Structure 1
Amino acid sequence: MSETTPRPTETERIELTIADTDAGSRLDRLLADRLPAFSRSRLKALILAEAVTVDGRLVVDPSVRVNSGGRVVVAVPPPTDPVPAPETIPLDIVFEDAALIVLNKPAGLVVHPAAGNATGTLVNALIAHCGASLSGIGGVARPGIVHRLDKDTSGLLVVAKTDRAHRRLAAQFADHGRSGGFTRAYLAFVWGCPALPSGSVDAPLDRDPRNREKIAVRPNGRWAVTHWRLIESYAGTDGRPVASLLECRLETGRTHQIRVHMAHIGHPLLGDATYGAGFRTKAGLLPPEARTCLESLRRQALHATCLGFAHPSSGEFIEFTAELPQDLAGLRRALAKTDESVI
């Protein structure tokens, strides 16, 4: 497969009409929902840079509310060369062609430069690997980035090498399979054992007003749904279930979604210092080897194990899987060393 997409040399104008269902929405949220190929931070930056008008009036406040029937125009400047420097960082590439790269991200690797992580990111590695052949839609600091994984979450991630591929992949991630084939599954080790073999969490998410670094279930937050299935449960030293392995599939893709949703139903992830701090004492109920594995983990026990989508060029459905990395595979073996494990 090959694909060549010329980069625009002039500002692109994107025009939107505000539907009745969008009336009263914040401008930045409206644009994020209607333009999934652009990151929300990129759209916010365009608003602040005086690149967005509503009914011909310049708007520089991302939180302004929009009215039904209005017309929004976004002036997108041509992509510039990525500012992050190329760095030789090993990449576990699962698949690559002219349009995209699928890779298995290790825990500890930040996806793109940000405050506190100006270098040593996946973007730096991608620039070294791909040169100039990365989509510019994500902005200067995020070339090619269609979606993200938390720094301490491992697993599968797809990167766009052309603007056309970026737009088509972003649309699939925004749709989450409602209009066609799309799979995105995670393996999560959680505290306790759910009472049912499967279930769903439908709880809106937004920034925690008490801590802007955290996400919380909020009544007026963004719609978020996680479907989970019990794979294994593990007994503690008292013979009762102390932890479980779940498969989680996303119907939406919000920041920290699985971590917050699992904590919300009383089953936070093992190793999650942000959303599972109150469960640290349960480590004393783990078998000794499992306790040692958890102490050395130093991250949330979450892995993106499956990713499937329609190829942006051919339309063919392609799917990839990534086994548990060494640290989580070791934790699983240690947890399962009991007659009470159920598979």
Structure 2
Amino acid sequence: MIKKSILILLIVILSSGLAVANDPETTLIPIPLIFSSPETGLAGGGMGMYFKDTELKNIQSRFGAFYTAEGQANLFLQAEQEVDEYKYSGQFSYQDWVNKFYGLNNEVVFNDGLEYDSQGFSVEGGISKRLAPNSFLGLVANYESYDLNLERKLKQNIRGIAGVDLWGLGLKYTYDTRDRMMDTRSGQYLEYQSIIHSEDFSESDFIAHELDYRFFKQLAPKHVLGWQSKLIITNGALPLQKMNSLGNMRILRGYESDKFLAANKVATQLEYRYPIYKKWSGTLFAGIGEVYQEFEVDDLEESWGLGLRYNLDKKRGVNLRMDFAFNSQQSNFYFNVGEAF
């Protein structure tokens, strides 16, 4: 059933651009993707980005699917709609993937990683009301359910190693003066959210506070300096699935996902974006951060790298992203759509 759903979605993505080609208010960008990684082998799929702008509302959505030679699958849908004084958002993802467990609290116990399967889905929705020209305050709710086969491999008392069924409800505040959401050239973005998580609503299992701040300055035409800082602080008993990882394709690029796990996270990165030729541009980036139970300056980790961009939509700044990221331990290559931040 999942394989058929992914195939149907890929056909829709790669062929539906013709359906909106004559609508000046609508843009659909189909993107076929092929990639490879040690965990997945050869993988293929596609994604689409849909935009619709009218006087009464703006709609943005992203949807896609991937399938690998190892039989792993990933399917996702994200959408955001702004109508008058309100902003609505939602997302859904299904994943049947291979992960690795190295240890907790920033400590690597298994040098090569303990491989395990993760299968399940997550769904999230939110509604916010405009408080001022650039400010929104609202509610966010989510639910996720995943099965893990790590319990029989790991003889430790770690919450969530068999899976997780978790509800979340909280508040979100957003302040946004960016000139555009993707490939931002100027402006600021601040988001704070506080979410209570629980398995059955009878009591709070843990609370997560997350702060994301971004600043962009155009130094010269097409030369942009961007800065992002992120802080996540939790209180309570976190399951394995909700632990924070040090690096990913968006911040502290270069570190293997989930190699360093802990309850809390602090990270910051700086990126310089510059033109190369016509639709091609480049980036230089560096970052520093830490996941921790108790913060230690000596445990801060660094990453740096460079990237290439190919523009798919000039108006909205939709780019294909290719990043080469490094740190003192390893390097990684990322291929994706949209900027890291």
TM-score of the pair, normalised by structure 1: 0.23
Please state which structure has a larger fraction of its residues in strand: 2
TM-score of the pair, normalised by structure 2: 0.23
Is the radius of gyration larger for structure 1 or structure 2?
A: 1
Please state which structure has a larger fraction of its residues in helix: 1
Between 1 and 2, higher relative CO (CA 8 Å, sep ≥ 6) is seen in: 1
